[in-house]
Amino acid sequence: MTNIIATPLDTDMHQRLNAVEASVVLYTDTPLNLNSGTTLGPVDVAYHTYGRLNAEKSNVVVVCHALTGDQHVVLPHPLTGKPGWWSSLIGPGKVIDTDHFFVICSNVLGGCMGTTGPRSTDPATGHPYMLDFPVITVADTVRVQVALLDHLGIDQAFAVIGGSMGGMQVLEWAAHYPERVFCALPIATCARYSAQNIAFDEVGRQAIMADLDWCGGRYLLEGRIPHKGLAVARMAAHITYLSEAALTRKFGRKLQGKDKVSFGFEADFEVESYLRHQGSTFVERFDANSYLYITRAMDYFDMPSEYDGHLAHAFRNTPVHFCVISFSSDWLFPTRDSQAIVRALNAAAASVSFVEVQSDKGHDAFLLDEPEFHDTVRGFLSGMSERRGLSFVREAP
């Protein structure tokens, strides 16, 4: 394992957060064994840390990001300049208080923000992997995250938290590495990806692959980018992150900068303009092949199948404490998905609490400033901190 960079960032914001941007090369001697039966190595892992590790290394919070997220969980994104995707939740004095906790968030395997993925250089050829990159799973991503903690000398995370695909990673942590996790917060997620969600993912992948600039996945060698296909994939997916109530409240049938319809195919309605903007800004920061690989990893997520259809067996005798959270208007990962997880945890006699947050903002509610959601996370972490006897005295490790 070779550390490449660990750079404290020196603006006022970075100093308040004790933020460090880092990258490490793992699996240099022994490659990563993947669920597909192939291997991969070496593996670059890009990650951020916030806060300070206490002397006991007991205040670690691992944050797992969703499909289109990355390690820029708090700091502004370097390509878009937008605030970190969970900056409403994490920071000094916030729900996940970086004056108390040491937060780690890494870019997932297959990603495009520094962790090895299809646009990374294949050491065997000297060219980007492109579609020679092996198909990956959520479990493969979590193996890499565990290896990162090993590299950092951290035996156990106090908490692992994530929403959507991040919640899948949380469940993998708890099921396969229960001794490495004190408490887990799977949010707006599932234990088995639904046929409907696989269908939405396939629409997005087909949009990308239908773009002539995709070039059979070799667009980087051709100096082309499938902007149109990736933008359409993002537009289709973004609809699933919202709710009808949220779209109606925000847009209704309002026209975009005009008094009457054009009787053509320009963006007449505000909602059309909004989706086009979402698509065009997404292509600035995301790689098309990464989108293919990560959505495929989500498609393959099916924890019950690992245990002959009995999800409870995944958590038998688990020491992990769980807080499962869903949102009432989330139709991508509806509350029944979270309830299935809770039933399995109850059947395994696990320590579990469950909250369905009342919100009309859809799946994306976990990324927004939802007071009930924030209060739930804050209360759970506070109670678990007391139970763990967690020391918040910040000392150099």
pLDDT in tens, 155-189: 999 999 999 999 999 999 999 999 999 999 999 99
Find out if CATH 3.40.50.1820 is the number for domain 2-194+302-388: yes
Under the banding of pLDDT at 50, 70 and 90, the label for residue 13 is confident
Q: Which of 223, 181, 200 is closest to 321 using CA atoms? A: 181
Q: How far is 186 from 352, CA to CA, in rounded Å? A: 11
Catalytic residue among 48, 65, 321, 363: 363
Q: How far is 18 from 9, CA to CA, in rounded Å? A: 8
Please return the burial class of 9, using the count of CB atoms within 10 Å of its CB with bins 0-12, 13-18 and 19+: middle
Q: At what angle do helices 288-299 and 165-176 cross, to 10 degrees?
A: 50
Contact (Cβ atoms closer than 8 angstroms) between residue 59 and residue 77: no
End-to-end CA gap in the chain: 20
Contact (Cβ atoms closer than 8 angstroms) between residue 327 and residue 361: yes
Catalytic residue among 164, 290, 326, 329: 164
Q: Could you give the angle at the alpha carbon of 182 between the alpha carbons of 180 and 185, nearest 5°?
A: 105
Contact (Cβ atoms closer than 8 angstroms) between residue 324 and residue 341: yes
Say how many C-beta atoms besides its own lie within 10 A of residue 371's C-beta: 9
pLDDT at 293 over 50: yes
pLDDT at 392 over 70: no
Give the pairing of strands 351-357 and 321-327. Answer: parallel
Active site residue 164: yes
Query: Sign of torsion, CA 3 6 109 133?
Result: negative
Q: How far is 125 from 284, CA to CA, in rounded Å? A: 27
Q: Report pLDDT digits (tens) over 214-251.
A: 999 999 999 999 999 999 999 999 999 999 999 999 99
- Longest pairwise C-alpha distance within the chain: 67
> Residue ranges per domain, the chain?
2-194+302-388, 197-297
Catalytic residue among 201, 211, 330, 364: 330
Active site residue 374: no
Which CATH number is 197-297's, of 1.10.3720.10, 3.40.50.300, 1.10.1740.110, 3.30.1050.10? 1.10.1740.110
Considering only 79-83, 164-168, 213-217, 380-384, which range has the smallest mean pLDDT?
Answer: 79-83
Q: How far is 138 from 294, CA to CA, in rounded Å? A: 8
Structure confidence at residue 390 (pLDDT)? 85
Helix (DSSP H) and strand (DSSP E) numbers for the chain? 12, 13
Active site residue 122: no
pLDDT at 76 over 70: yes
Contact (Cβ atoms closer than 8 angstroms) between residue 297 and residue 110: yes
pLDDT at 72 over 90: yes
